[in-house]
Amino acid sequence: MEQGAQPFDFGRKVDPKTFEKLIEEGYEVDPSKYLKDGWELFKSRAGEFIVFTLIIGVAAAGLSRLDMFGSLAVSVVTAPLYAGFIIVVFMLFKGETVQFGDFFKGFHFFLPLVLASFVTSILVAIGMVLLVLPGIYLMVSYMFVSMLIVDYRMEFWQAMETSRQIVTKNWFSLFVFFLVLVAINLLGALALGIGVLVTGPLSACAVCCAYRDIVGLHEAGELTT
């Protein structure tokens, strides 16, 4: 059994050879399958997904009122909360019993998740300033960062670079998948904002399905230990 994650560990280095074959040989991308599988996952725990999404929204709205510290507080809290979707979905993939408290176990990976969130945000922002396209490239390329941190207990920079290298191999196809998710969430926002309670967790589930099919789940230990 792999030792459980500690909130203020930086994470660990993973042998890069683990991903060499995937990065060299590439993979197929099937957005329709990811969305279909993601929808089935969402439906299986729809009530819990919706309630947890509402909790994230309320927390973000409340923290954003903290003047100059609001944005910082939102970033610190939402990164591990988003990872809660990943933990629950990975548990469902493995056929494990899920309780609502499992959504909050993203805080077991607090430090690497928050560091990844800050650094990716800075790099994407710089990329947007530099003719926009570099920012879009990085935004898509960092799609699997949180999943690698949760799944492999990976430190944040290696997770960022590994995600970038994997996604770059078939970047355009995953960019199309990214655009579909953006469109779905825009439709959710147009539905008086309430639709985001469905489209938000659906998107998280779909990205987890993409990660499972492209990268594969690491089976070394329990996700919640």
Tens place of pLDDT per residue across the chain (225 aa): 345 677 878 889 999 999 999 999 999 999 999 999 999 999 999 999 999 999 999 988 887 777 666 667 777 889 999 999 999 999 999 999 999 999 999 999 999 999 999 999 999 999 999 888 999 999 999 999 999 999 999 999 999 999 999 999 999 999 999 999 999 999 999 987 789 999 999 999 999 999 999 999 986 445 544
Provide the residue type at 51 as one letter. V
* Contact assessment for residue 137 and residue 171, using Cβ atoms and an 8 Å cutoff: yes
pTM strictly above 0.95 = no
